[in-house]
Amino acid sequence: MEFAAAVRVSNSNLIPFISPLSSTTRYQSPNASFIISTTLSRRSFACKSTVKDTTTAQVVKMSSDDSSRFELSSLTALSPLDGRYWGKVKDLAPLMSEYGLIYFRVLVEIKWLLKLSQIPEVTEVPSFSKEADSFLQGLIDGFSMDDALEVKTIENVTNHDVKAVEYFLKQKCKSNPEIAEVLEFFHFACTSEDINNLAHALMLKEAMNSVMFPVMDELIKAMCNMAKDNAHIPMLSRTHGQPASPTTLGKEMAIFAVRLSRERQDISNVEIMGKFAGAVGNYNAHLVAYPDTKWPQIAEDFVKSLGLSFNPYVTQIETHDYMAKLFHALIRFNNILIDFDRDIWGYISLGYFKQITKAGEIGSSTMPHKVNPIDFENSEGNLGKANSGLSFQSMKLPISRWQRDLTDSTVLRNMGEGLGHSLLAYKSALQGIGKLQVNETFLSEDLNQTWEVLAEPIQTVMRRYGVPEPYEKLKELTRGRAVTKERIRDFIEGLELPEEAKTNLLNLTPHTYIGAAVKLAKAVDLAVNLVNGMKVL
């Protein structure tokens, strides 16, 4: 299903915005258009700024007459995820928006009724016929924008979002005689959080598996390709920003591929958990109604049937500890990618990479020669934004007063924001990688200017053969002085070393002093596969 930003949205075209900031809504009658808008105060307001050098302060006024100009669109969305960047993150919208939350609530309520029909002790809900099963499954498979709007219209009356889902299902099922007999069992023994926690878990599970993991894997694969393609290209290392022992460009890319693979593996190993134990986690109401039924086992079977892990020790809410674990793992993945973005930014600055340009693109509004590394800058910025939200959620969500408070509810509605900014960052980094072109000539020239990096292997060989004070001798030769190929060769010639060792040192250049870098870079696929089985949640 395609989703597109619009100013006015009809019943059949509800936008599932990723950020709740962009989804302020008001509703007309049940069959009328669904209008998303911002409503301004009747009183005019002004934003004033005074500059000392000006004689008149600038005043910007907006009256309530202008409010129609600011109905929600890609230009007026408070969140850029739902505005400027919508095209890059819209795949998350069906899952991480309020539409997605409503859909998964519907799924859980229906699956619970089906589960009750399979419990022998619950004689009031007999086994459904194939036709009834098909009818209920059809409500899940055929869930539409119109359905979501109908739920929201009911919520306007109930002022309770989960109860609105229950009433919606009762209305939908009145037409089926078999299900109409058991309508009150849709929400049997459930607290709202029994439904919500499973819906949130399914939202995260599906978003990670169908949207996030594929792009993360594409990013890791792109780095693996960079590693293999550039495995043999020598490059001057820089430790503390200073020239250091050479490496290869490919091996440095392999490091990031393997690091991200480890974190990707950790993310996929997080157990997405759910609870279904009633108002305070003890099955109180269940056992009063059906005291001889093994409700804890039924709850576990039900949660697992949804593809989730079961949490048996809970209050009214699932404790959200798994969310903290998941979000922390995403933060670690994102931090590694920030490191990559900054390194590539630096290599572009050094001239190690050129950027392929497109006709018509402008790098700087005033300096025509510039091609800025904007993709990596965009990626870095969005990773920081993602991490701030994910960090807050991972710290806040596991904390709830006594058996529950409501502070988690509004925070959970922002899960899509952290994933959205992460997804945007991954795609920006991929776009940047696609523009890179290695400048082998510049890399080679850089190495030609830094023969002092051979001080390390020379003094190491001197140690092996017992030459006194090798470090000190090389320090005297190299520190603070221009070191040329000739000076290095003259120094080696003057050493008392076996001829074979001396010949090996004389044959060494900054381009060939790269150790096992080529082999490490070429083996990156094996290393990534060993680290990461590319699992799903």
- The two three-digit tokens of residue 422, written as one number: 């992460």
Sign (positive or negative) of CA dihedral 170, 34, 137, 213: negative
Between CA 511 and CA 233 the distance in angstroms is 9
Between CA 163 and CA 145 the distance in angstroms is 19
CB 452 within 8 A of CB 483: yes
Q: Where are the alpha helices (DSSP H) in 238-364?
A: 249-268, 284-289, 295-305, 321-350
Between CA 498 and CA 68 the distance in angstroms is 87
Between CA 339 and CA 341 the distance in angstroms is 6
Number of Cβ within 10 Å of residue 117's Cβ equals 20
DSSP letter at 208 equals I
Give the residues across from 27 on adjacent strands.
34
SS3 content of the chain, % helix, strand, coil (to 5): 60, 5, 35
286 belongs to the catalytic site: no
Between CA 112 and CA 118 the distance in angstroms is 10
Side chain identity, residue 450: T
- The two three-digit tokens of residue 285, written as one number: 């109401």
364 belongs to the catalytic site: yes
From the candidates 29, 49, 175, 240, which is the catalytic residue?
A: 240
Query: In terms of Cα–Cα distance, which of 306, 108, 110 is closest to 205?
Result: 306
Between CA 4 and CA 27 the distance in angstroms is 20
Interior CA angle at 364 toward 361 and 368, to 5°?
80
C-alpha separations of 275 from 40, 95, 283 in Å: 42, 20, 11
Q: Which helix (H) or strand (E) holds 396?
A: helix 374-396
Give the residues across from 243 on adjacent strands.
238
From the candidates 12, 127, 305, 364, which is the catalytic residue?
A: 364
Collapsing DSSP states into helix, strand and coil, what is residue 107? Answer: helix
Give the residues across from 46 on adjacent strands.
61
CB within 8 Å of 493: residues ≥ 6 apart: 502, 506
CB 257 within 8 A of CB 223: yes
Number of Cβ within 10 Å of residue 25's Cβ equals 16
- Rg (C-alpha) for the chain, rounded Å, is 31
Q: Cite the active site residues.
A: 240, 364
